[in-house]
């Protein structure tokens, strides 16, 4: 059944015309592409509205040979922090003062104070840890966007984390609510690293991360730039060429 295209989710008035704080966790395949795209989104928002973005990216990984090609890194970046490398490049190119934290969230940096949380992590256990941190915060983000993928398919989803004592009409389910199997801590993680570009390409399609990030960024642009969205995310399959939207929850 096709989604109900008449349903819309509207950006809360509290977002107003101001600088929005974005916390991006993960600067690998999807995260690096998201970070580069967020710089373009910031430029667009400044042109069409009074909104802008201030991004903090958190990642404890360094650039390796296997990252070249699929991720926006170069040979001169080998051995350097992924987060710091891209933030320095973006800040220099766009005159921004975005922040990089070399470490792992939520231990290295808290999730409180952000308007939007974006997770581009590899494992269910990482999502569970982030979900647990969100549950303990009263000043947590209004939105949690999550991206995940396998070799040639994946999904992106934006949700609204529940806040203790708060009643929000038509709250968008988060990734842990939409995919309850991620909450099962008995399932082992599969995050084996690749040692070469060739091995990395065996594990993941060359452009899957760019496609995933582009769809997620387009949804963010509609929400932040145009004020509403008609779907909560989507499933992307490069092998079949299909893109299926994730509908908004019904307001029955």
Burial class (CB in 10 A: 0-12, 13-18, 19+), 165: exposed
Q: What is the pLDDT of residue 251?
A: 65
Q: What is the pLDDT of residue 169?
A: 57
Q: How many domains does the chain have?
A: 1
Which band of pLDDT confidence, cut at 50, 70 and 90, is reported for residue 69? confident
Let me know if residue 166 belongs to a domain: yes
Question: Domain range holding 29?
Answer: 16-178+193-247
Cα separation, 146 vs 216, in Å, equals: 9
By the 8 A CB rule, do 30 and 209 touch? yes
Q: What is the pLDDT of residue 171?
A: 84
Residue length of the chain: 252
User: Does residue 144 have a pLDDT over 70?
Assistant: yes
Let me know if residue 85 belongs to a domain: yes
CATH at 240:
3.40.50.720
Let me know if residue 252 belongs to a domain: no
Let me know if residue 184 belongs to a domain: no
Which band of pLDDT confidence, cut at 50, 70 and 90, is reported for residue 154? very high
Question: Is the whole model's pTM more than 0.85, yes or no?
Answer: yes
Let me know if residue 2 belongs to a domain: no
Let me know if residue 138 belongs to a domain: yes
Let me know if residue 3 belongs to a domain: no
Which band of pLDDT confidence, cut at 50, 70 and 90, is reported for residue 64? very high
Cα separation, 146 vs 141, in Å, equals: 13
Cα separation, 231 vs 217, in Å, equals: 13
Let me know if residue 91 belongs to a domain: yes
């Amino acid at each position: 059944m096709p989604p109900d295209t008449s349903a819309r989710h509207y950006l809360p008035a509290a977002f107003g015309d101001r600088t929005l704080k974005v916390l991006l966790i993960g600067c690998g395949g999807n995260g690096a592409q998201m970070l580069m795209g967020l710089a373009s989104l910031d430029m667009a928002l400044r042109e069409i509205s009074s909104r802008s973005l201030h991004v903090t990216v958190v990642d404890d990984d360094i650039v390796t040979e296997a990252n070249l090609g699929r991720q926006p890194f170069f040979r001169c970046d080998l051995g350097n922090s992924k987060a710091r490398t891209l933030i320095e490049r973006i800040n220099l190119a766009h005159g921004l003062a975005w922040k990089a934290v070399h470490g792992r969230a939520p231990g290295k940096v808290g999730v409180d104070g952000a308007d939007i949380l974006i997770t581009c992590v590899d494992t269910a256990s990482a999502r569970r840890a982030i979900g647990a941190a969100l549950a303990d915060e009263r000043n947590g983000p209004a939105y949690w966007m999550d991206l995940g993928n396998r070799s040639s398919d994946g999904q992106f989803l934006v949700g609204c984390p529940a806040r203790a004592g708060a009643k929000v009409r038509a709250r968008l389910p988060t990734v842990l609510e939409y995919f309850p199997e991620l909450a099962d801590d008995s399932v082992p993680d599969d995050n084996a690293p690749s040692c070469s570009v060739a091995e990395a390409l065996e594990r993941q399609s060359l452009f899957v991360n760019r496609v995933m990030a582009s769809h997620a960024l387009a949804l963010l642009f509609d929400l932040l730039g145009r004020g509403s969205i008609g779907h909560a995310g989507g499933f992307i399959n490069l092998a079949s060429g299909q893109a299926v939207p994730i509908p908004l929850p019904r307001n029955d």
